């Protein structure tokens, strides 16, 4: 089967998800139609995830496009593949333009679709970027003959430049995996943080902007503004459950806090587009108590 024919079949399969929705998908489409298409969140940066009403763990893959080249960050799970592919095509990016697949750690919610992504990204310069400790496990997602595509940020002085775009990689060990890292886009000052700054929220929106009162609030169960949902407890609970200990989370925040950040784009939960909220949450997480094993011992 030719490449074009195969790609057309992939697109048709992705289209089917939307033109013949199950009851659940139909309900999602009606309630959150705005998320049916890729959403540009910054210059050349597209959110290519999807809204799922019943889920409290939304996964956010991101596509960064610079002229004729693109990279995909934390592409998503195996079941997410068709929808993410559709969003990439809707962003007018041919998968052949993708020269880098970046995986900020090795969990299946971000790496599950890796073999499918490798199959559709037929660019001869394609690289899969992760970190040495992650790659030990990432090899199990892909066939042996594709292992040569695996590369480590350690081999590239923690930076990757394509066309006019430079991405910096900052290690955040044990937040939550040994090889976890975050990715900083120099052009837009966007920080892609994988599980850091994620949330278990059931009341999801793509963007989260905190109220002025949230910054000084001392009791998240008693909203001054009488809002029926406060996002902060879900964010803090997520970090307490997912991060191994206070020390590793504190270290991650100390690595991040000196960066000049306009926006945080996490793999779960919502994007933080306000600088004030970014630095407020960094400080909140830096001193968070009861994280991981620290909540037990």
Residues forming the site for Fe ion (CB under 5 A): 107, 109, 195, 267
Tokens representing residue 3 in the block: 């490449």
User: How far is 234 from 271, CA to CA, in rounded Å?
Assistant: 14
Nearest to Fe ion of 44, 76 (CB atom): 76
Q: Rounded to 5 degrees, what are φ and ψ at 25?
A: -65, -40
Nearest to Fe ion of 18, 174 (CB atom): 174
Instruction: Please name the residues in contact with 160: beta carbons below 8 A apart, sequence gap of 6 or more.
Output: 71, 100, 102, 129, 153, 166, 167, 169
Least separation in angstroms between CB 180 and Fe ion? 8
Nearest to Fe ion of 110, 168 (CB atom): 110
Nearest to Fe ion of 198, 231 (CB atom): 198
User: How far is 26 from 120, CA to CA, in rounded Å?
Assistant: 27
Neighbours of 18 (CB within 10 A): 14
Tokens representing residue 137 in the block: 């496990």
Nearest to Fe ion of 190, 194 (CB atom): 194
Q: Rounded to 5 degrees, what are φ and ψ at 221?
A: -85, -5
Nearest to Fe ion of 80, 195 (CB atom): 195
Least separation in angstroms between CB 66 and Fe ion? 26
Least separation in angstroms between CB 194 and Fe ion? 6
Least separation in angstroms between CB 173 and Fe ion? 14
CB 108 within 8 A of CB 99: no
Least separation in angstroms between CB 107 and Fe ion? 4
Least separation in angstroms between CB 21 and Fe ion? 26
Tokens representing residue 234 in the block: 């879900």
Neighbours of 69 (CB within 10 A): 18
H and E: helices and strands count for the chain: 10, 12
Q: Which residue is nearest to Fe ion (CB)?
A: 107
């Amino acid at each position: 089967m030719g490449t074009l024919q195969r790609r057309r079949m992939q697109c048709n399969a992705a289209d089917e998800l939307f033109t013949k929705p199950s009851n659940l998908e139909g309900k999602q489409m009606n309630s959150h139609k705005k998320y049916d298409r890729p959403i540009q969140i910054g210059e050349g940066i597209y959110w290519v995830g999807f809204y799922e009403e019943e889920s409290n763990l939304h996964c956010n893959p991101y596509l960064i496009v610079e002229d004729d080249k693109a990279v995909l960050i934390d592409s998503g799970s195996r079941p997410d593949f068709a929808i993410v592919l559709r969003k990439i095509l809707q962003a007018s990016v041919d998968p052949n333009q993708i020269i880098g697949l970046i995986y900020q750690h090795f969990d299946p919610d971000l790496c599950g679709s890796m073999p499918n992504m490798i199959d559709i990204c037929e660019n001869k310069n394609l690289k899969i970027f992760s970190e040495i400790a992650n790659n030990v496990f990432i090899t199990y997602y892909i066939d042996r003959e594709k292992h040569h595509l695996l590369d480590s940020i350690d081999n590239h002085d923690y930076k990757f430049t394509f066309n006019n775009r430079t991405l910096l990689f900052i290690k955040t060990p044990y937040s939550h995996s040994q090889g976890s890292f975050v990715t900083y886009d120099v052009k837009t000052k966007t920080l892609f943080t994988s599980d850091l700054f994620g949330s278990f929220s059931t009341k999801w929106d793509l963007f989260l902007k905190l109220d002025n009162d949230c910054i000084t609030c001392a009791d998240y169960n008693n909203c001054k503004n009488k809002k029926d949902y406060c996002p902060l407890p879900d964010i803090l609970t997520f970090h307490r459950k997912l991060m191994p200990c206070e020390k590793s989370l504190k270290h991650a925040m100390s690595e991040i806090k000196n960066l000049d950040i306009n926006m945080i784009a996490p793999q779960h939960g919502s994007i933080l587009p306000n600088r004030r909220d970014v630095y407020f949450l960094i400080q909140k997480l830096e001193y968070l108590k009861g994280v991981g094993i620290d909540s037990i011992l």
